[in-house]
Amino acid sequence: MRTLPFAAAALLLAAGFAQAEGFRSPSGNVHCVPGDAPGAVECEIREPARPIRPKPRDCELDWGGRFSLSRNGAQIVCAGDTIFNDEHRVLPYGQTLRGNGWQCTSKTTGMTCSNSRGQGFEISSRRQRLF
């Protein structure tokens, strides 16, 4: 059996963090969690700006505050629950967290998440944008 030096093991644990835990902006206005599918992440904003797209008729839940990113692109999510959790790790402004096929960067202007294809979303209290 091969053992890893402590520092290498710590790096592996840190890299796996994004796959199992949530994270949030320093302001606490944006919280994110890895999605159910590989390469996916979801973020929710506590106080969204006006929704960027009209609420679909088949959405009977909350609309405009949660965004999902997968390998296939970004979308707004119709959701009735919340992903907010005060125990989520703070992602400091200017820092980027990388997961399995995605990355999210915390900025004073909001949270930006993208996949390996360059698709993603940017969310803040002032605006939400899919790209």
Residue boundaries of the structural domains of the chain: 30-130
Question: What's the number of CA atoms in the CB half-sphere (13 Å) around residue 60?
Answer: 0
Give the pTM. Answer: 0.82
φ/ψ of residue 114, rounded to 5? -145, 160
CB neighbourhood size of 65 (10 A): 20
Question: Of 112, 115, 118, 128, which Cα lies nearest the Cα of 32?
Answer: 112
Q: Dump pLDDT digits (tens) for 73-108.
A: 999 999 999 999 999 999 999 999 999 999 999 999
Q: Dump pLDDT digits (tens) for 5-38.
A: 434 333 333 444 444 589 999 999 999 999 888 8
Task: Give the pLDDT confidence score for residue 15 in this predicted structure.
Answer: 46
